[in-house]
Amino acid sequence: MRVTIADVARNAAVSKTTVSRVLNGKGEVDSETADRVRAVIAELGYVPSSRAVGLARGHSRTLAMLVPSLTWPWVGEVLQGVADTVEAAGYGLLLFTCNRGEVSMAQFTSQVSARAFDGVLVIEPENTLRSIALLHRQGLPMVLVDDRGQRPDFPSVSTTNAEGAAAAASHLLTTGRRAPLVITGPRHFGCVQDRLTGFVGVLREHGVTQPVSRVAEGDFTVRCGQTVVERALSEGVAFDSVFAHNDLSATGALHALRSAGRRVPDDVAVIGFDDIPIAAYTEPPLTTVRQPMRAMGVAAARRMLDHLGGVVPLEAGPTVLPTEFVIRSSAPG
């Protein structure tokens, strides 16, 4: 049977509060009593709950991570970077998903109230900004990963979205492609705005206009990439390349082009964004803009741990990591 703090208190003839004070070095306990309590702890082999000790000291040595869903293709890479960093620092990690909307957020908020963790890393679930912002204003240490809404009031970790998209545009122009079809993500995401701005900006610098007919808003799914390309083909939109704002949409574009008898890259070049594992195994393998997902998780966890350890304050503003352009067969050089 597990030895409890009550067992220690009874055998040492003191209160549980006194035992707690000895364990945590808080409050005034005379040396004779403290020695007696420590002797009983050693005799009984009592091991205090790390969580209980942490809470008594004002911290839990646990971080939380809030994500939309584990089905997102790159969440696992970010999570692995976080887990590696947190574990190496001797912290625990609690994972919360937001699969059930308000119910999930209510459960998460209850854990904040219970002081179950010292800070939270957030890949922002849809329609949760108000709740997240309130918790942040109330003092919960927080770092956003992939700051999709460009909110300077939050500490965040992001990548060079505009520069990555600019590299994609430059590559297409260099290889003679001047009529790209762009499949964006939801327009209210900051990363989507940055990618579109970076891409169109390079085209404009080279005298290439991007008509509205060749820009379609998507939702980052395979299906949307396929649907956009199918619609463009049926409506007679002329395009010699596709730039999709994520690899899943680019994969859908590849499927649609193949079904329509269009050769990739001979007829149409295709470029994605993210470099998720499947990108190297599509047919043909996908040229894409690599986001350093695992490094983003490491950077977010490091910012939080440095704050909790008193190394540097957790100030608003982004830590920006560079993207990398990866050339494969769907848009060769």
**Residue 45, pLDDT score:** 74
**Residue 48, pLDDT score:** 60
pTM of the predicted structure, to 2 decimals: 0.80
**Residue 92, pLDDT score:** 92
Q: Which two three-digit tokens encode residue 82? A: 């976080």
Q: Where do runs of H (alpha helix) occur along the chain?
A: 5-12, 16-24, 31-44, 50-56, 75-88, 102-113, 129-137, 161-174, 190-205, 222-234, 247-259, 293-308
Least confident of 12-16, 159-163, 252-256: 12-16
2-5: list long-range contacts, CB under 8 Å, 24+ apart: 3/44, 3/45, 3/46, 3/47, 4/46, 5/46, 5/48
Task: Report the share of the chain in percent with pLDDT over 90.
Answer: 60
**Residue 313, pLDDT score:** 86
- The answer, yes or no, to whether residue 162 has pLDDT greater than 50, is yes
Q: Between these two residues, 288 and 29, which has the higher pLDDT value? A: 288
Euclidean distance between CA atoms 260 and 267, whole angstroms: 11
**Residue 132, pLDDT score:** 84
**Residue 18, pLDDT score:** 87
271 pairs with which residues across the strands?
243, 287
Please give the C-alpha separations between residue 229 and each of 175, 210, 239, 299, 330, in angstroms, as whole numbers. 21, 16, 10, 36, 15
Concatenate the DSSP letters of all residues of 294-325 into one string: HHHHHHHHHHHHHHHTTSS---SEEEEE--EE
Note the pLDDT tens digit of each residue in 61-92.
Answer: 899 999 988 888 889 999 999 999 999 999 99
Residue matched to tokens 């295709």: 270
Chain centroid, CA 105 distance in Å: 17
Rg (CA), the chain: 26
Average pLDDT value for the chain: 89
